[in-house]
Amino acid sequence: MGLVEAEAVVKHFPITKGFLRRRVGEVKAVDGVNLSIKEGATLALVGESGSGKTTLARVILRLLPATSGRVSFDGREITTLDDGALRAVRQKMQIVFQNPASSLNPRRRINEIIEEPLLIHRVGTPGERRRRVGELLERVELPSQDFMFRYPHSLSGGQRQRVAIARALALDPRFIVLDEPTSALDVSVQAKIITLLRRLQRDMGLTYLVISHDLSLVRNVADVIAVMYLGRVVETAAVAALFGDPKHPYTRALLSAIPTVSDEESALIPEKITLGGEIPSPASVPSGCAFHPRCYARIEGCDRVTPELVRVGPDHHASCILYDPAHGAPGLHGGGSSGMD
C-alpha cells in the first residue's frame, strides 16, 4: 500500500455554451487513472501538454474535486473529507509550482512568504515561526541573514525556486507535488535544484510526485514513471524498465524524439520514430485507443477497442492492444525488443 493511492480517478470539465450555460460536451482531462506512490519514493508523471498530468496532480491534492474515483493519503480516503478534516491532511501534502516568478507574491518579503503556511495553520508563536523561517532558509541553502528580508524580484530564478521549496517544507509535509519544478530554469541551475530536492528527500523521507515533460530529467529523478496520453496512463514502470524496454508505441516515440547530447545516449534510444500530427484536444478524444490516429503500429480494432493496462513485465504495465492477451498479444514488431512472455 502506497502513501498516496489513486483509484479510477476521473476528472471531466463541462463545456458550456450560451446564456443558459447549456452543457454541450466535456473535456476528459483525466479519464480513469490508478496510481500508487510508495513512501519515500518519487513517481514521475510525464506527457505532453493536454495529457492531464497537472489536472491529475491537482485532483490528488484535492485542489480540484474528482468527478469520480478515490484518492487516499496514508490509508485514509480524502476525496470525501469535510473541510475541517481536509485541513489537517493538507499540512502533509504540498506543491511547488513551475514558475517561481509568478508563484511568489512580489509584495511580500521572503520571510513573510515562507511564514504564510505557518500562519494559515496557526503553528507556533511569532518567535518560533521566525526561528522556523530561518531554519527553512538554511535547509534550502540560502543564508537566512542575507535573504530573510528581501523581495522575490531581487532573487535569481534558482533562488526563487529555493524559496518556493522552503515554503512547501514549512509544515513538515510527507508528500510534495513538484509541477515542472525546473522547466523555467537554465540547466546549470536546474542541476543544483535537483541535487537539493534529492538531498531533502533523503534527509526528510519525503515522497514526491514530479510532473514533467522532460524525459531526460525524469530519468535522473524518478523511481517509477507513468506516461500519460489524453487523460490516461498508457505505460507505467520502474525507471530502468521504462527506458530500457519501453513497450507502448507512444512511449517509444517520445523516447526517440529526445534531443540527446552524447553518443552513449543516442545508443539507448529505440529506432527513430517521427510521429505525425499533434496530441488532439481532450475535448474530442479519438475513439478506441486515443493514440490510434497517430500510431505507427496500429492494427485492426485500435479505433474501436479501448485498451486496458496489462502486465508486460515485472511492475511494468502498458495499455496497448498489441500486448493484450485477450487480443492474442501479437507484440510490437520491428522494435528490436520483443521480450513478451
Partner 1 sequence: MNPTGPLLAIQDLGIHMRTYEGRARVLNGVRLAIHEGETVALVGETGCGKSITAKAILGLLPPNAEIVSGSIAFKGRDLLRLSEEELHGIRGRQIAMIFQDPSTALNPVFTVGEQLTDVVLWQGARSATIGRRVTPEVRQRCLEILRLVRIPDPEGAFGRYPVELSGGMRQRVLIALALVGRPELLIADELGTALDVSVQDQILLELRELVRTGGLSVLYITHNLGVARLVSDRIYVMYGGEIAEMAPAAEIFRRQLHPYSQGLLAAVPRLTGTMGEGIEGRIPDYVNPPPACRFEPRCPFRMEVCRLQRPLLVEAERDRWVACHLHGSREDSGSGEESG
Please, where are the H alpha helices in the chain? 53-60, 83-90, 100-103, 110-120, 126-139, 144-147, 157-169, 187-204, 215-221, 239-244, 249-256, 263-268
Report if residue 219 touches partner 1, rule: CB under 8 A.
yes
Report if residue 289 touches partner 1, rule: CB under 8 A.
no
Binding-site member from 65, 75, 125, 274 for partner 1 (CB under 8 A): 274
* Sole window of 136-144, 167-175, 202-210, 252-260 interacting with partner 1 (rule: CB under 8 A): 252-260
Binding-site member from 18, 83, 203, 262 for partner 1 (CB under 8 A): 262
CB 40 within 8 A of CB 19: no
For residues 38 and 198, which CB has a smaller minimum distance to partner 1 in the complex?
198
* Residue 237, all three cell numbers: 514502470
∠ CA 157-159-186, nearest 5°, is 40
* Sole window of 2-10, 131-139, 167-175, 180-188 interacting with partner 1 (rule: CB under 8 A): 180-188
d(CA 79, CA 242): 30
For residues 71 and 185, which CB has a smaller minimum distance to partner 1 in the complex?
185
Binding-site member from 157, 270, 286, 313 for partner 1 (CB under 8 A): 157
Q: What SS3 class is residue 264? A: helix
Report if residue 146 touches partner 1, rule: CB under 8 A.
no
Q: How far apart are the first and last CA of the chain?
A: 27
Q: Which of 179, 193, 155, 226 is nearest to 63 (CA)?
A: 179
Smallest gap from Cβ 159 to partner 1, in A, equals 9
Report if residue 203 touches partner 1, rule: CB under 8 A.
no
Report if residue 216 touches partner 1, rule: CB under 8 A.
yes
CB 195 within 8 A of CB 164: no
Smallest gap from Cβ 194 to partner 1, in A, equals 7
CB 144 within 8 A of CB 138: yes
Binding site for partner 1 (CB under 8 A): 48-49, 156-158, 186-192, 194-195, 213-217, 219-220, 239, 243, 253-265, 268-269, 274-276, 278-279
